[in-house]
Structure 1
Amino acid sequence: MICCLNPDCSNPLNPNGKKFCQSCSTPLVSLLRNRFRVIRVLSDEGGFGRTYLSEDVDKLNERCVIKQLAPKFQGTWSQKKAMELFAEEAQRLQDLGEHPQIPTLIAYFEQDGCLYLVQQFINGDNLLKELQQRKAYNSRDIQSILLDLLPILKFIHDRKVIHRDIKPENIIRNKNDGRLCLIDFGSSKQFTAKVQQKSGTSIGSHGYSPLEQIRDGKAFPASDLFGVGATCFHLLTGNSPFQLWMESGYAWVSNWREYLRSPINPELDFVIDKLLKKDIQERYQSAEEVLRDLTPKQLLALPPAGKSSGKLPPTKAPVLPKSYPLLRILILVSAFILLFGFSESWYKNFRRIQTSLVSRLIQHNSPGKNDAILSQISLGKVSLANTLQGHENSVLSVAISPDGKTIASSGDDRTIKLWDLATGKLISSLNGHFQQVNVVVISPNGKLLVSASDDNTIKIWNLATRKQIRTLIGHSDSIHALAISADSETLVSASDDNTIKIWDLATGEQIRTLAGHTFWVRSVAISPNGVILTSGSFDKTIKIWNLAKGYPIRTLEGNSQTVTTVAISPNGKILATASRNRTIKLWNLATGRELRTLAGHKNTVTSVAFSADGKIIASGSRDRTIKLWNTATGEEILTLAGHTNTVTSVTFTPDGKTLVSGSEDNTIKIWRLSQ
């Protein structure tokens, strides 16, 4: 196969022997600089270039990585800045590549109007992917990571270089020796007096970069150490610092312990707390200081920087015997019976514990035969019927067709997937967005699928043929919420540009823009009669609009935190909203009067859905659970604990007999409700 080097090409792979790309007609280059054969795309920078996996024919087809810079706006300040940063990255690799845990620079050149940087290929997974596969790290794992990573930082800091973008994605565990490698020096900066004193352009990743870097553009060794702390926090808790930053800025660093899944040892607790200090003066100032505070015995075993001495102590979680989870269930249930006896409340409590235990059993066994057996185990009023695996990264949204036969899902792997709900088989994958797809909805008439993305676009697809019909352009920032009216004629979208747009779904024509929120709008819902539109925003308000005329009816301000999701009951009488304060509020939609508050989740509620008859509310949360609530009384019915990361989306089938959930653990779960 020959890979097209046009960064805008939607299907870059071509059969050998072709001279022009079959997708975009760009002339194909078999060898870059008569030496490097491009195999496939590794990542996309949104049209400004791509990163490719390649082969170096001069080194017996040894694997390498090629980064491409293809600036679109010739002669602009942004193009000049991008070229400067690209050249600086090459220079950093040239200077730092002598370290065995930093990729070496192989070549740097210009060809056909693009700049190319060729570097060593590190065979392994980054820590974010490792987290998604492993699910959990303990204190020992994190200390081992620190002891491997900190000497690399000491090495670059000693050479007056600040990385400025420390995060799990930029740390790869080499499969050959188990050591960590630090990659992506595109944001790195030479540490000089000028850098210390002069504010510059903000560079780094929100959540992982400290205040002085994001706000002032200043970077110090201590700035990289904040990124180390944020990385450790992410691995320990499974909570993304970026998501927390979006919700509350830097507030999470002061209460980071609340997100821990289990206690950590005192030494590590002290170290992470000091790494995460918001005030740079209170933070560690050097990697050596951090190393001194770690366990002395581990420091004695630390190999010198710049030398490789084999694998570190293993950080993989121990593999339990298959019988162990079953034995644990028997022991715990037996103890529970002895403790509570056969009282009237015993059965209800037993069912709740059974739900949690069976979910954990599912996590400890590989998919296949065991899953088939487990899917038949009744969990109170709900049974886990199937777990769908196919997304490479987080599942951000799920939707169900009106006939209840098809699930649509989307995620940050930039794809939309269609599944057979009955069998769990993957029907098709739709590709078109070039950034993560935040939400998918299916029209009530079952004919159209609509998706929205971080690429600021909305795409409309024919659900039957799976062909793209049109792309709607109008928002100037990421789109996170969609809703379609019951007559399938009107589409509503909400965006991080603080606006809501109303579209004619049949023609794609924009009807109007609703402006009123002062921060990101992340959720919208339309009443069944098509008269009312509701929206929730990070400005902590809920707005109720007249959909036909586009004017605001009222604003609900009963939330002390950002509003994450809104939903309207099937009879159109109740509005359910959720926010970062971990509660769900029910409102009278007609009057705006608050009816009751549902409390029980231990972290942000991310998604809320009503059952078809409106009697049950399902809620998904960052605490990795799904809760079912009695709409009339507000009482919690059941907790489902099968997901191992944030539950991003929940929805019921039209007949109310099935609940589908999506999660950042890359899976979709199908739950059957007994009648």
Structure 2
Amino acid sequence: MSQSWIKNLSRSGYINNKDLRKIPSPMIGTILNSRYHIIRKLGQGGFGATFIAADRWQNNQHCAIKQLKPDALSPETLYLFEKEAEFLFKLGSHPQIPQLLAHFQEERVFYIVQELIEGNDLTQEIKRGQRLGETQVIKLLIEILEVLEYVHQNQVIHRDIKPANIIRRRDGKIVLIDFGGIKQVRARSANSTLLTAIIGTPGYMPIEQFNNNAHFCSDIHAVGMMGIFALTGIDPDPRIGGFPKRPQAETLWRDKAQVSQQLADVIDKMVKFDYRQRYQSATAVLAALKCLFLPHNWLCVRTLQEHYLPHDAFPFSPDGQILASGSGDKTIKLWQMSTGRKISTLKGHSDGVASLAFSPDGQILASCSSDATIKIWQVSTGREIRTLKGHSDVVMSVAFSPDEQIIVSGSSDNTIKIWQRQ
């Protein structure tokens, strides 16, 4: 960090946001810090922009660069920027948090250089109008909280947990990105008025955080609201969705989801209006959620009859709403789990169905059979899309890759075949 720049700021007191608005974002092709070649822009927010850049000192390895334009600049701002960078460096040792590669200032703007995470954010999994199954939501919450537990153990509050700030990496692991604290760079003006930006997203951010009094359980509130979004398909952001409130300002959501009493109770405690009534640690929430996976008694609630000679082929759709069953009668049947009603019967195989697999988005079903073929079906219509031929014996199993671009099949002909979408 340039000491002369700090001295210049000290003489002038501070640089306000009116000055900062005159500073343009780097253009595509710009080289920052004599090292980072800007390739393309990823996004724009109220605090600056994010870019993909090639590191010319590291064989043009791609990285993510965040440009930060705080409300005001002063020596105090620089100090806070350095402290936040120290936190990011420490947190980056976790395999599910981006590694901090560098930080610098140029043209009176701060830059953070981090590991580029390849994958899709959770807006691709948690969508408006789409409900996820309870088991899927529990697993997702546990994934998030296991990373958040590490963050909180390092005395850091994320402040902006939401689907857009969690990436599902290509290996299936989630990565927590875009920590709000680094945006909360503060400065004192000439008359010593403290300027502090409120960090967070409406619908996820609890009231105490809005009042600049965030606690660890403020992050827990945000994770709980993500769970509600996933279960109901309703975005909690009041600008595009939101939920009604009780007189005590508790969120009313249970009647909009198919959810067990046990999970609903856990989530309600996560999103209590009064932060003192919430779970106070990610560890405590994890314990409560993992208890929901303990063995319970099982009761037969419905019998589905139409198949004969059933094979080991009974996958659920990713949202838990549809069951697919394959049988020795050469057919596949799709069932609505909430009612037990048969949705459709898929016909096309000339021998028994051995295995089935839903694509990760639940739109496609793959089946394999003793007829040595794999068939691809559109779930919404029951229409056969394509037949894959290549095995010389019974195809025993089939599976999709997480990005849905590859299907893998295993056969009694002692081969495994990989089929790539063209």
The CA distance in 2 between the partners of 1:49 and 1:244, in whole Å, is: 22
User: Deviation at 1:201?
Assistant: 5.4
How far, CA to CA, are the matches of 2:291 and 2:241 in structure 1?
37
Instruction: Tell me what 1:259 maps to.
Output: 256
Say yes or no: does 1:181 pair with 2:175.
yes
Matched residues in 2 for 1:189 and 1:160: separation?
Answer: 17
Residue in 2 aligned with 1:157? 152
Q: Distance in 2 between matches of 1:153 and 1:245?
A: 27
Distance in 2 (alpha carbons) for counterparts of 1:372 and 1:273: 34
CA root-mean-square deviation:
4.4
Partner amino acid for 1:45? G
1-structure distance, mates of 2:85, 2:242: 35
Q: Report the counterpart of residue 42 of structure 2 in structure 1.
A: 42
* Corresponding residue SS for 2:33: coil
- Alpha-carbon distance in 1 for matches of 2:80, 2:240: 26
Shift of residue 282, structure 1, vs aligned partner = 1.4
Conserved? CA contact 2:88–2:99, under 8 Å: yes
Structure 1 residues 229 and 248 mapped into 2: Cα distance closer, same or farther (>3 Å)?
closer
Q: Which residue of 2 aligns with 1:209?
A: 205
Once the two structures are superposed, the pairs formed by residues 320-399 of structure 1 within 5 Å of their partners are: 324=333, 364=363
CA contact (8 A) 2:217 2:275 kept: yes
Q: Deviations over 1:352-390 (max 9, x none)?
A: xxxxxxxxxxx9569xx979999xxxxxxxxxxxxxxxx
**CA contact 2:69–2:110 (8 Å) conserved in 1:** yes
1:162 and 1:189 in contact (8 A); partners too: no
1:248 and 1:327 map into 2 onto residues whose CA distance is 27
Tell me which residue corresponds to 1:609.
none
Contact in 2 for aligned 1:200/1:218 (Cα 8 Å): no
Distance 1:101 1:247 in 2: 30
Distance in structure 1 (CA, Å) of the matches to 2:89 and 2:208: 28
Instruction: Quote how far apart the aligned CAs of 1:316 are.
Output: 4.1
User: Displacement of 1:96 after TM fit?
Assistant: 1.1
Q: Scaled by the length of structure 1, what TM-score is found?
A: 0.38
Task: Please name the residue that 1:274 is paired with.
Answer: 269
Q: Which amino acid aligns with 2:63?
A: C
1:83–1:130 distance in 2 versus 1, CA, 3 Å: farther
Q: Tell me, yes or no, if structure 1 residue 59 matches structure 2 residue 58.
A: yes
- Determine helix, strand or coil for the equivalent of 1:254: coil
CA shift, 1:37, in A, is: 2.2
How far did 1:182 drift?
Answer: 1.0
Aligned residues of 1:69 and 1:86 also touching (Cα < 8 A): no
What does 1:474-513 align with in structure 2 at a 5 Å threshold?
A: none
Once the two structures are TM-superposed, the CA of residue 139 in structure 1 deviates from its matched residue by 1.2
Aligned residue in 2 for 1:231: 226
Shift, 1:163, TM fit: 1.1
For 1:124 and 1:333, how far apart are their aligned partners in 2? 33
TM-aligned CA deviation for residue 138 of structure 1:
1.1
User: Is the 1:105–1:118 contact (alpha carbons within 8 Å) kept by the matching residues of 2?
Assistant: yes
Instruction: Give 1:109's aligned residue.
Output: 104
Question: CA separation of 1:373/1:213 partners in 2, compared to 1, >3 Å: closer, same or farther?
Answer: closer
In the alignment, the residues of structure 1 paired with residue 214 and residue 294 of structure 2 have an alpha-carbon distance, to the nearest angstrom, of 27
96-105 or 130-139, larger mean C-alpha shift: 130-139
Q: Which has the higher strand share?
A: 1
Contact kept in structure 1, 2:225 and 2:271, CA below 8 Å? yes
Q: Contact 2:244/2:251 (CA < 8 Å) preserved in 1?
A: no
Secondary structure at 1:161 match in 2: coil
**Alpha-carbon distance change, 200 to 249 in structure 1, aligned in 2, over 3 angstroms:** farther
In structure 1, the partner of 2:391 is none
Distance in structure 1 (CA, Å) of the matches to 2:233 and 2:166: 16
Cα separation, partners in 2 of 1:332 and 1:100, compared to 1, 3 Å:
closer
2:105, 2:111 within 8 Å by CA — same for their partners in 1?
A: yes
User: Which amino acid in structure 1 is aligned with residue 36 of structure 2?
Assistant: F
Q: What are the within-5 Å matches in structure 2 for residues 164-175 of structure 1? A: 164-175=159-170
CA distance in 2, matches of 1:315, 1:89: 42
1:327–1:213: structure 2 CA closer, same or farther, 3 Å change rule?
closer
Q: Secondary structure at the match of 1:68?
A: strand
Residue identity matched to 2:255: E
Please tell me whether the aligned partners of residues 207 and 245 of structure 1 are also in contact (alpha carbons under 8 angstroms). Answer: no
Cα drift, residue 258 of structure 1: 2.1
Q: Is 1:138 matched up with 2:138?
A: no
Contact 1:199 1:218 (8 Å CA) reproduced? no
Structure 1 residues 82 and 126: CA distance shift in structure 2, 3 A: farther
**Which amino acid is the alignment partner of residue 54 of structure 2?**
E
The reply to whether residue 32 of structure 1 matches residue 32 of structure 2 is yes
Query: Residue 206 of structure 1 contacts residue 245 of structure 1 at CA under 8 Å; is this kept in 2?
Result: no
Offset, 1:211: 1.3
Whole-Å separation in 1 of the counterparts to 2:205 and 2:336: 44
Q: CA deviation at 1:332?
A: 5.8
Deviation at 1:58, TM superposition (A): 3.0
Paired residues of 2:129 and 2:234 also in contact (CA < 8 A): no
Alpha-carbon spacing, 1:289–1:244, altered in 2? closer, same or farther (3 Å): farther
Which aligned pairs between 1:438-477 and structure 2 lie closer than 5 A? none
- Measured after TM superposition, the shift of residue 210 of structure 1 is 1.0
Distance of aligned partners of 1:267 and 1:12 in 2 relative to their CA distance in 1, 3 Å threshold: same
Q: Percent of aligned pairs with the same residue?
A: 34
Q: 1:189 to 1:274 in 2, by over 3 A?
A: farther
Distance 2:167 2:343 in 1: 41
Rounded to whole Å, the distance in 2 between the matches of 1:247 and 1:317 is 22
Higher RCO (C-alpha 8 Å, min separation 6): 2
Unaligned 5+ segments in structure 2 are 1-21, 185-193, 296-315, 325-330, 345-361, 366-376, 383-422
Answer whether contact 1:144 1:315 (CA < 8 A) is retained. Answer: no
Q: How does 1:231-630 map to 2 (within 5 A)?
A: 231-243=226-238, 251=246, 253-260=250-257, 263-296=258-291, 316-317=318-319, 324=333, 364=363
Q: Pick closer, same or farther for the CA change 1:62–1:333 going to 2, 3 Å.
A: closer
Over 3 Å counting, the alpha-carbon distance change for 1:272 and 1:67 in structure 2 is same
Amino acid at match of 2:280: Q
